[in-house]
Amino acid sequence: MAALQEKKTCSQRMEEFRHYCWNPDTGQLLGRTLSKWVWISLYYVAFYVVMSGLFALAIYTLMCTIDPYTPDYQDQLKSPGVTLRPDVYGERGLEIFYNVSDKTSWKDLTQTLHTFLSGYTPAAQEENINCSFEQYFIQKEFRAPNHTKFSCKFTADMLQNCSGLTDPNFGFEEGKPCFIIKMNRIVNFLPSNNNTAPRVDCTFLEENHKDFTPLEVDYYPSNGTFSLHYFPYYGKKAQPHYSNPLVAAKFLNIPKNKEVIIVCKIIAENVSFDNPHDPYEGKVEFKLKIQK
Amino acid sequence: MRAAEILARDGPNVLSPPKETPEIIKFLKQMIGGFSSLLWAGAVLCFIAYLIEFSKDKSASLDNLYLGGVLIVVVILTGMFAYYQEAKSTNIIASFTKMIPRNALVIRNGEKYEIPAEHLVLGDIVEIKGGDQIPADIRILTSQGCKVDNSSLTGESEPQFRSCEVTHENPLESKNIGFYSTTCLEGTATGMVINTGDRTVIGRIASLASSVGHEKTPIAIEIEHFVHIVAGVAVSIGIVFFIIAICMKYRVLDAVIFLIGIILANVPEGLVAAVTVSLSLTAKRMAKKNCLVKNLEAVETLGSTSIICSDKTGTLTQNRMTVAHLWFDNEIYQADTSENQKDQIFDQSSATWTSLSKIVMLCNRAEFKSGQESVPIMKKIVMGDASEAALLKFSEVVMGDVIERRKKNRKVVEIPFNSVNKFQLSIHETDDPNDKRFLLVMKGAPERILEKCSTIMINGQEQPLDESSVKAFQDAYMELGGLGERVLGFCHLYLPEDEFPDNYSFDVESMNFPTSDLCFVGLISLIDPPRSTVPDAVIKCRSAGIKVIMVTGDHPITAKAIARSVGIISANSETVEDIAKRLKIPVEKVNKREAKAAVVSGMELKEMSPEQLDELLANHTEIVFARTSPQQKLVIVEGCQRQNAIVAVTGDGVNDSPALKKADIGIAMGCAGSDAAKIAADMVLLDDNFSSIVTGIEEGRLIFDNLKKIIAFTLTKNIAELIPFLIFIIAGVPLPIGTIAILFIDLGTDIIPSIALAYEKAESDIMNRKPRHKKKDRLVNHQLALYSYLQIGILQSVGGFFAYFTVYTVQGFKPDLLLYLRPLWENDSLNDLEDSYGQEWTKYQRQYLEWTGYTAYFVAVMVQQIADVIIRKTRINSVFQQGLFRNKYIWVGIASQIIIAVILSSGFGSIPVLNFTTLRIQYWFVAVPYAIVIWLYDEFRKLLVRHYPGSWWDKTMYY
């Protein structure tokens, strides 16, 4: 077995490369003549045009087959997630730390709440109807204008003391802050099979705070329930003006200068809060530290 | 006692094997060579990414750490695998080179011992006899008719006498030295050991040969070339997108992670394993066909061979003298020279033949070795020289039991052949009880025999030897000699009963019997006939564009005759001398361009300048080198290599080893070859047969084609793995496929199909095309790269993306929403991301959907790789011409792809780090239309390539 590898000097290699880039003898540019380049480019352009066409056709067909109101599958969205406002994320999830006497430390938090609730002013909710029947609002047909379905109003004032209307500081100033809890929307999701409304339940995370007195909470609307007439959600197309119902929780006995962990769960038949992988499914956990 | 001391001082009497690279170096080479370095870089990047993350946040996710670990495991595993494969195939040859232990008969302290030859020491007295291999360099002390075969050392094929006289100052020329590893043919001798082990003449030549360095093999160069291409693509795309990512204001950490993904997608991790396995499969297959390959890459080198320099004796010919022609009654008869000599069709009714056969039978000292009754005549071992053995076998075939007849015609006296007399004579009683005359029979060089004759036998009648019969004799002698055959003359004389009665005492010293005025009976010519399979093999070589050059130590006439009979010089081509003879002009006036063939003797070769040799090699297609020494073989090989040819050289002698080393592929003979030749060679022919070389070439070309197919198959999906990252960076969609899933394609689903391609049978044209040009025809040419990367690869990506979009769409994320969704999608603190239907997703729910996307993309690529492995079965033929089910392993491979994918996507893959999810049945079929498109498109490509050879399409699309 023997010599096939001749040692080339660097300048030889450079020369070869230059020759490859432009070969004056054959008029070859990067190994092809100009006309060859044109041909091959044309071929590839044609090839990609056809292929894009195929892809577009495939996507178009896919779009034609799907239902515009309901996703085909919801197996990956069985139980709704829960979010908290104000939401400040630290290294490990939600961390809300502020100092009662330092207004700047909670100004942003209340501002977040104000911004969030701006979607719940009567003006913003104008398109929606008033509901008070506390039953699932089942709509088989599209009775609302523009071939849509009706959505129930949820206005900020339903949150009473936590609406930001009576107390624009949401209780942050006196160390009894309001937090707003929102349940994620899932199309056609019914929280329970009987007529019990889902309820928010906030507690200190037990294991760490055994010696504490139980957390005292004021829920708004009362009992901390999401009224059933907000369910089911029929999707963006059917209910373009739908807004999630909210529950506000006002924590009354947060110890000062101490970090506590609070967990707010949604208690409902079809909502699970024990998925080990997903910390935000059916519950929301957050750290709270109020300094004085 | 003394012997043990010397043994301790000098070491055992064996040739030290060539220096081996230490195992650990070999192992480390596998670990860092080729793609491994890229993977190491990937692993290091992973760790850096983890460290960056860790320094910012103590609780950083361990994903990058895991990935780095997995990469290192991959590198080590594939490295170990490649090392194991190589070690295994090295062992095949190692076991072969290990020879049966040889013993030597040594006299120590006045007593004879049989000891292993490696325990011989300086000064030992050894006894050798016919058939022994000389165990060390010895000085002959006593000799009884000792003849040795020095051909493995000096290339002289004639047996040489050994005696105790110094005949020359140069030990190589002197008659009193027996050389290590040469064979004693007959006689006995005792000698004193003068050199052992590496200090023997052979040892010195062998160590000289091993210092001619081994260089890179063509396939190694090709694979390196391919690694460069892929690494170049990986690194440049990686860097370009790293810069793009930075410009797009991605964090450096993210950019590093993209870089890892791009490198991983581009590196075909499983390829090295697949290539090694297919090479060793071929090596095994070749061993079955009597080619033993020493290093794996040699298999492919053989396939690109463009010139074979073949020995004559034993390789092209049967390596035994055989009766080829007979001349009696003024006529030449042809004898059967095939391997079994069954059909002797010449006229056996003539009375002259009866006399001739008697002479042939009686005037012959050769005998069959005893105890071979059941062995076919042609395979029996004969004691005696080659010509005599040929005549013995010939008469045994034609006339039956020779030994019995010899007993009936008792030998009275004989004069053996010697180079002065140039004849052999014996006197016998006749088997006719009524005939009391003695029969004197004689054979020898025809001209010497004729001198001694005064009559000639024609049709059983003695006639005076007149001018016309002498002329007839001369013509026959010239003709047979011109065929390159060794001609022997035969004559006899019935001694008159009155002068030589029963009790006459013959004396060989005084020659008290007539040796002239004999009756000439006939001529018999002998030749070492070509092997019967060789002519076909030579034709095959020619159609495959391979030049066959014969290199032999024989006489030019013999060489030319054999070359003609096997087709190395084809029937209608002429040498310069032939043309001169035909046109009756002097040789100098012949236009050399007209002669296709050339016969060049060693003397002429010696006079030639390298330029003249180049011209000779370039202008003649059919060349025979005769009367060459083994050293000149090296000159010829170098000349061929200057023509940019890949040269295969056969050799058996020790002196051939430099040529074997120098050649691109050295082929040693398994039966006749010396150890040194086998050590120097890349391949050993177990049956010494030229046609095995051609079979080897076919296998070599096949492996080259199949490697192309394997690489094309493996490269294709790299694009389908790479595009997701590019789209991910540029269009900001959620990541379509994760790095772990990529590893599962490369090292999981794709491994068995790619190995299965190594079992693919040859396409129809394999032996009808020119040998590969080592600089122009690359393993991975731009056609292959472009077709795999930019056509099929892109098609696969499109199919994959369709599957990906399908999964997201049916779950609520329509394609338009996905564009530039990445910042929100990957935001850990966004747990209510809205989809196209207004539903809200937490981070983990999105993450899980992303994994489902990975799985769907993975399955889509797998499905399209099934189409890919089917289309890669052929490069030019339709898959249906090749036979869809002929290669069963392909289907095993496809089954393995599906099974692995099913296992991964049905729960086993949902182990935390692997990130596979369970997939709905229908997602499996999303990419099927694309698989069908791939198949149809490739059939269309092959159709056009077949129908328009030489067209633009052929040049652009045929890889």
pLDDT given for residue B814 in this prediction:
94
Chain A residues touching residue B842 (CB < 8 angstroms): 81, 184, 278, 280-281
Is pLDDT of A51 > 90?
yes
Distances (CA, A) of B790 to A43, A77, B137, B418, B560: 12, 38, 66, 77, 54
What average pLDDT does range B88-101 have in this prediction?
52
% of chain B exceeding 90 in pLDDT: 22
Q: Could you tell me which of B706, B733, B667, B686 has the C-alpha nearest to residue B882? A: B706
Q: Does A1 sit within 8 Å of B301, measured CB to CB?
A: yes
Other Cβ atoms within 10 Å of B508 Cβ, number: 14
Q: Does A275 sit within 8 Å of B844, measured CB to CB?
A: yes
What tokens appear for B921 in the block? 């049945």
Chain A residues touching residue B59 (CB < 8 angstroms): 91-92
Q: Could you tell me which of A132, A250, A264 has the C-alpha nearest to residue A198? A: A264
Q: Does A3 sit within 8 Å of B214, measured CB to CB?
A: no
- Residue B28 Cα, gap to closest chain A Cα (Å): 23
Q: Which residues of B are catalytic?
A: 311
Question: Is-cis flag, bond preceding A279, omega within 30?
Answer: no
Q: Do residues B646 and B774 lie in contact, with contact meaning Cβ atoms separated by under 8 Å?
A: yes
Res. A61 pLDDT band, cuts 50 70 90:
very high
Residue-wise pLDDT tens digits, B557-607 = 888 888 988 999 988 888 888 888 888 888 888 877 778 888 998 888 989
Q: In which element (H, E) is residue A23 found?
A: strand A22-23
pLDDT given for residue B19 in this prediction:
62
What average pLDDT does range A260-289 have in this prediction?
91
* Residue from the list A1, A66, A242 with its beta carbon closest to the beta carbon of B214: A1
Chain B residues touching residue A79 (CB < 8 angstroms): none
What average pLDDT does range B465-491 have in this prediction?
89
Cα dihedral A84→A86→A91→A93 (10° resolution): -10
Strand partners, B103: B116
Half-sphere exposure of B721 (CA within 13 A, CB side): 30
Q: Does A55 sit within 8 Å of B812, measured CB to CB?
A: no
Q: Could you tell me which of B156, B309, B157 has the C-alpha nearest to residue B650? A: B309
What is the DSSP track for A174-234?
TT--EEEEEEPP-BT--S-SSSPPPEEEEEE-GGGGTTSPPPPEEEESGGGBPPGGG-SB-
pLDDT given for residue B368 in this prediction:
84
% of chain B exceeding 70 in pLDDT: 93
Which are the contacts of B717, defined by CB distance < 8 A and separation ≥ 6? B745, B746, B750, B793, B796, B861, B864, B865, B868
Backbone phi and psi for residue B362, each to the nearest 5 degrees, phi listed first: -85, -40
Chain B residues touching residue A187 (CB < 8 angstroms): 812, 837-839
Q: Is B511 helix (H, G, I), strand (E, B) or coil?
A: coil
pLDDT given for residue B226 in this prediction:
83
Residue with tokens 């496809």: B894
* Residue from the list A47, A182, A278 with its beta carbon closest to the beta carbon of B832: A182
What average pLDDT does range B26-46 have in this prediction?
82
Report for B319-333, B578-592, B907-921: range of highest mean pLDDT: B319-333
Q: Do residues B664 and B647 lie in contact, with contact meaning Cβ atoms separated by under 8 Å?
A: yes
Residue-wise pLDDT tens digits, B363-377 = 888 888 777 777 888
* Residue from the list A51, A233, A275 with its beta carbon closest to the beta carbon of B798: A51
Residue with tokens 């959600």: A233
More confident residue, A59 or B127: A59
Half-sphere exposure of A251 (CA within 13 A, CB side): 28
Res. A263 pLDDT band, cuts 50 70 90:
very high
- Establish, for the pair of chains A and B, how many residue pairs have beta carbons separated by less than 8 Å: 146
Q: Does B57 sit within 8 Å of A91, measured CB to CB?
A: yes
* Cβ burial B789-823 (10 Å sphere, 16+ → b, else e): bebbbbbbbbbbbbbbbbbbbbbbbbbebbeebbe
Q: Does B920 sit within 8 Å of A73, measured CB to CB?
A: yes
Q: The complex's ipTM?
A: 0.93
Instruction: Show the beta-strand stretches assigned E in B418-529.
Output: 423-429, 438-444, 453-458, 461-464, 486-495, 518-527
Domain map (residue ranges) of chain A:
13-44, 82-290
Is pLDDT of B101 > 50?
no
Residue B837 CA to residue A238 CA, distance in Å, equals 9
Q: Do residues B115 and B158 lie in contact, with contact meaning Cβ atoms separated by under 8 Å?
A: no
Res. B411 pLDDT band, cuts 50 70 90:
confident
Q: In which element (H, E) is residue B750 found?
A: none
Residue B552 CA to residue B661 CA, distance in Å, equals 18
pLDDT given for residue B206 in this prediction:
64
| Dihedral over Cα of A199, A202, A205, A206: its sign | negative
Res. B820 pLDDT band, cuts 50 70 90:
very high
Q: Do residues A164 and A158 lie in contact, with contact meaning Cβ atoms separated by under 8 Å?
A: no
Lowest mean pLDDT among B608-617, B799-808, B857-866: B608-617
pLDDT given for residue A3 in this prediction:
40
CA–centroid distance for A219 within its chain: 23
Q: Could you tell me which of B707, B858, B693 has the C-alpha nearest to residue B781? A: B707
What tokens appear for A33 in the block? 């003549």
What average pLDDT does range B725-743 have in this prediction?
90
Strand partners, B112: B107
Residue ranges of alpha helices (H) inside B643-732 are 657-662, 675-680, 690-731
Other Cβ atoms within 10 Å of A29 Cβ, number: 14
Mutate to test the interface with A, among B839, B844, B855, B956 (most CBs of A within 10 A): B839
Q: Do residues B219 and B305 lie in contact, with contact meaning Cβ atoms separated by under 8 Å?
A: no
Q: Does B214 sit within 8 Å of A2, measured CB to CB?
A: yes
Is pLDDT of A80 > 90?
yes
B499: left (phi over 0), alpha (psi -120 to 50) or beta: alpha
